[in-house]
Amino acid sequence: MKFGVCCSLADVPTVLKAGFDYVELGANSLSDDESLYQGLPTEVTNLFFPGSVKLFGPDATPYLDIARANVDRAAKIGVQTMVIGSGASRNAPDGVDRDWCEREFVLIAAVVANYAKQYGITIAPESLNRSETNIGNDLGCLALALKDAGAGYTADSYHVLYEWHENFPDEAYPSASHWEDQVPFLPSHVHIADLPRFAPKPGDPMVEGFANRLLSLGYNGRISLEYRRGENYESELVTALRDLKTLFQS
């Protein structure tokens, strides 16, 4: 199992000094200057589409050339997995059928995944919570649809917890069966944070359920910490890595 952090290029030295194995950078902000990434374990990207790209509705913009350029750029610096979140891009505007947008988003992911295969890159969209977009809010449903379309998926604990809390505000934490529904089979990639979006702690039943589900599936891939950083970034990263290893007993 490998642990990384979603961060900016400027934060990479701090992340690696703390002991993390790799970094996850924003695909839509990668530079054409490959020398900036030389020697860096830039294994994963997120933030695939810029917010200016709209996938649905009357203001929909062409996406394929941008997607191909992002994949080409990522391939040159050794990226192996590309997460598609891009809430602003995939949001369904008023008056556009959301069920159609759900299906279309999966098809778009499949098109990008097919292009990325030539580089050995896995395209792995994630579910997002309803405060960020209205398409792809249920991880379990999205994962199954992506599997049928030939794409991977990213399991993000924070977004699942946010949606669960919205739907079941009186429940203390998700049950094991809920995690089984939301993570129905091995994900291609993992993002982790607790419900306030802080670094997870061992013993927290919300994130322990998520970790137990991944371990029961035999997950042994990458886990990226995607969280709300505090004032002392370096020291909190050291603590976060220790806690992640304890949580997953790695």
Per-residue pLDDT of 23-73, as tens digits, reads 999 999 999 999 999 999 999 999 999 999 999 999 999 999 999 999 999
> Is the pLDDT at 134 greater than 80, yes or no?
yes
The residue range of the domain holding 200 is 2-247
Q: Would you place residue 250 in the very low, low, confident or very high pLDDT band (cuts 50, 70, 90)?
A: low
- Residue 193 has what pLDDT? 98
Give the number of domains in the chain: 1
Place of tokens 């505007």: 93
* Average pLDDT of the residues in 151-176: 95
How many CA atoms lie within 13 Å of 4's alpha carbon, on the beta-carbon side? 25
Q: What are the strands of the beta sheet with 189-192, ordered from one edge?
A: 122-123, 81-82, 42-46, 22-26, 2-6, 222-225, 189-192, 154-156
Give tens-digit pLDDT for 201-238.
999 998 999 999 999 999 999 999 999 999 999 999 99
The domain spanning residue 239 has which CATH number?
3.20.20.150
The gap from C-alpha 17 to its chain's centroid, in whole angstroms, comes to 23
Q: Would you place residue 172 in the very low, low, confident or very high pLDDT band (cuts 50, 70, 90)?
A: confident
